[in-house]
Structure 1
């Protein structure tokens, strides 16, 4: 009975906070600023409920598998912010390149960006383990919907893309590796969503 009452209350709460509101302002109620919305001529308290991800509990076959999961969580927490920064830089660079008048100006800007990226990220990259580096390649693909190879090729040309791909291959990695959230990277996707949402 208590469970049903709880479900009804939660449903009612979600319904009230998901009502379409036209204007939003804040009103002080009991010493707290509360967002208010106009709904059918009435001002009512309103708010946005954050998304909460609920996954089936993981079952580990042994201690080693459990330790690998915790290592993945640690690696995602370290590498995911870098992948987001890289994606932001890619977007900003692309948008700025569109404003430049000719190819020569674009190439000059790309060289400046490349130099800045090396100065900014080389110390961070040196601190990454091999597993974290491979994870970063995949998370860059997740964030930008393009492999690292495609990004390097688009901004720096096929020669540099080939050079960096060969260099990565020497260490058993590939810039062409794609992120597969439904297959190989399903567990990684779960961890990323939880980390992104502050649940891990």
Structure 2
């Protein structure tokens, strides 16, 4: 649905603005401490009953459990880099999840608004709220965390950032933000690749979502 893409592109544009701001101002990370011994997402445990013939059998349903081959670190620096990536993912993944929730909730609400003018007015309010809520938070992220957050928003939306920004802001602004991203070593045209370049990120995200990290 096109409205979903519009909302997501607002968030992505905001992230890109904050990336350029971080590079210029060297803003320190926000003070929120990530506890590496505590899962970002609490594992789900659901207890229920199901009927089999004339008997009621109790069952327990839990989150997915992911088993991966052990990581073989070649040196201490590689190990430190891995745990830094885990730390950064646990820090920004909740924000990416919030963005996805905004898309779902706003998209559902827009379906109830009959007038095109009222929908446009509501979108303006959403844009303002997102800007006021997320810009201060984005400015507290490091440059690396900002780039990672853009990648994780791409993962949640299942579309390239360039296409999403273009859908809402048009090709000129999309090109402008692409230039900003390129200047800082990124690209909005790249797809999130869980089987390739982003394989390690995907592995960590799955484990964090399941409460294993």
TM-score (norm 1): 0.75
Q: State the match for 1:99 in structure 2.
A: 112
1:148-167 to 2 correspondence within 5 Å? 148-167=161-180
Q: State the match for 2:152 in structure 1.
A: 139
Whether 2:208 is the aligned partner of 1:199: answer no
1:87–1:144 contact (8 Å) kept in structure 2 = yes
Question: Looking at both structures, which has the greater relative contact order when contacts are Cα pairs under 8 Å and sequence separation is at least 6?
Answer: 2
**Greater Cα offset, 64-73 or 139-148:** 139-148
Could you tell me how far 1:139 is from its partner in structure 2?
A: 0.7
1:180–1:186 contact (8 Å) kept in structure 2 = yes
Could you tell me how far 1:49 is from its partner in structure 2?
A: 4.0
1:83–1:143 contact (8 Å) kept in structure 2 = yes
Whether 2:70 is the aligned partner of 1:35: answer no
1:42-121 to 2 correspondence within 5 Å? 42-121=55-134
Task: State the alpha-carbon separation in 1 of the partners of residues 160 and 89 from structure 2.
Answer: 18
**Where does structure 2 lack aligned partners over 5 or more consecutive residues?**
1-46
Greater Rg over alpha carbons, structure:
1
CA RMSD of aligned residues (A): 2.0
Task: State the alpha-carbon separation in 2 of the partners of residues 167 and 178 from structure 1.
Answer: 17
Q: State the match for 2:24 in structure 1.
A: none
**Where does structure 1 lack aligned partners over 5 or more consecutive residues?**
1-33
Task: State the alpha-carbon separation in 2 of the partners of residues 60 and 185 from structure 1.
Answer: 18
Give the number of aligned pairs: 167
Task: State the alpha-carbon separation in 2 of the partners of residues 176 and 198 from structure 1.
Answer: 31
TM-score (norm 2): 0.70
